[in-house]
Amino acid sequence: MAKKDRINFSKIGAIAAATGSAVGLGNIWRFPYLLGESGGGAFLLVYILCVIFLGLPVMISEFSIGRMAQANAAGSFRTLAPKGKWWLVGLMGVICSFIILGFYVVVSGWTLEYIAQSIGNKFSHVSPAQLNQSFTNFSTDTFRPIGWMILFTAFTCAIVLAGVKDGIEKSTKFMMPLLFLIIIILGIRSITLPNGTEGLKFLFKTDFGKINSEVVLSAMGQAFFSLSLGMGCMITYGSYMNKHNNLSSTALQVTILDTLVAILASIAIFPAVFSFGIDPAQGPELVFITLPHIFSQMQGSAIWSTLFFILLALASLTSTISLLEVIVAYMNEELHISRAKAAIGSSVGVIILGVMASFSLGIWKEFTIFGLGFFDLFDALTSKVLMPVGGIFISLFVGWKIDKQKIYKELSSNGKYKIPFLNVFLLITRYLAPLAILLILLNQFGLTKWLGF
């Protein structure tokens, strides 16, 4: 339930923690391969429009809900709308966090294996076919990925256990600048490779002919995942923000930084892809197979690949702690379970889901539900169903359920800041965002084609 003496992030801490949540595998692993598959600059342009017109308003909405209510995801809805069933939206977010963690920690564990392999200089003088085989052998193995996954979950749990200020704020304030430094170094190395500018052309040249409904809808889905929206994560972090913080400018800064990292990751990857004559439309294995291949041909390969996988691990860690915090804050405040018990108990649960997800790529390959193994099922269920549904309800809640005056007071910190965009913001949360997200949702099930879009 709402607490009067809630812990507050500092101004920089709020930006570091929320950017840490947003920047993750979504930016460095998923964004570049989606961009590669969807034709470069055209995807980038549509993505940026989705971030500005949908992502930013929904993030502002989540921050406001959390800070207004001073509570966890479910408790916030219960506090602001005690009579209705709105708290179920928050509960859905808590469940969604749990399921995302179930597959996210598996991929995060892979980053640790790849750091170890990079340090051991395992990628030099290895053919692409061998890299492919070694990735398949590793990811379908029964025990090795589980060991790394448990280790990664333990790191996440330790930070969350240390608390909001001493764990989350302190660690993200340290990790985020490091992450920016690494990605800038990698970007400079990549652009200066022979023929590297071809990759930049691919990234920034916009061919409007490539924009179609598929591209728009995939960019919109990616914007939600990348900005950690639709499942109460930014509500929980918003609840730790200081009453004097300017919420809209914090959201703007987080959004810009998240987009910048996605672009920087692409700048680190595509010039290298072009420089070594590789097809940019590689799909999900871009980071775990194609990049090691590229590193293997670069001078000082062990250094570059170690730096890259450290970057990926750090980015994942600042995201997994935000996901675990959603669950821990809920269990602590709603179910009155101590923070320590909540963090350890939910981590054990995450490990069980992680084992299921990891086994589904190997020994449980034959076992599927709706044609999907656990790994793909957890991914599809969260990013294709639960997050968009959550996003629709969060927008509707701010647009229709909360009094306009209350929103104004929250966003302006009681009149301290000017909010000239209030009406546009409400227009988006009332109509544009719910309708656009509904479209993503329908598209996932092929219904938009059926409706003639």
Q: Check residue 417 and report its DSSP letter.
A: S
Q: From the CB of 95, what's the least distance to ligand PFF, in Å?
A: 12
Residues 6+ apart with CB under 8 A from 172: 13, 16, 17, 19, 20, 318, 321
Cα(225)–Cα(254) distance, rounded to whole angstroms? 14
Got the DSSP string for 345-366? Answer: HHHHHHHHHHHHHHHTTTTTTT
Closest Cα partner for 331 from 86, 160, 155?
160
State the number of binding residues for ligand PFF (CB under 6 A). Answer: 16
Of 19, 21, 156, 358, the residue at the interface with ligand PFF (CB under 6 A) is: 21
Side-chain-facing half-sphere of 19: CA atoms under 13 Å: 28
Contact yes or no for 184/264 (Cβ under 8 A):
yes
Pick from 108, 275, 322, 358 the residue near ligand PFF by CB under 6 A.
322
Cβ nearer to ligand PFF, comparing 31 with 374: 31
Q: Which of 20, 26, 90, 199 binds ligand PFF (CB under 6 A)?
A: 26
Q: How far is the CB of 378 from ligand PFF (least distance, A)?
A: 12
Residue closer to ligand PFF (CB basis): 379 or 410: 379
Chain residue whose CB lies nearest ligand PFF: 26
Under the criterion CB under 6 A, does residue 323 sit at the interface with ligand PFF?
Answer: yes
Among 13, 18, 19, 24, binds ligand PFF (CB under 6 A): 24
64 binds ligand PFF (CB under 6 A): no
Is residue 38 classed as helix, strand or coil in its secondary structure? coil
Q: Which is nearer to ligand PFF, 229 or 278 (CB)?
A: 229
Going 314 to 223 to 139 to 374, the CA torsion angle's sign is positive
Q: What is the DSSP string of 84-105?
A: SSTHHHHHHHHHHHHHHHHHHH
- Could you say which residues in the range 211-250 bind ligand PFF, by CB under 6 A? 225-226, 228, 231, 233
Closer residue to ligand PFF (CB): 25 or 211: 25
Q: Should residue 319 be labelled a site residue for ligand PFF when binding is judged by CB under 6 A?
A: yes
Contacting residues toward ligand PFF, per CB under 6 A: 21-22, 24-27, 97, 100, 225-226, 228, 231, 233, 319, 322-323
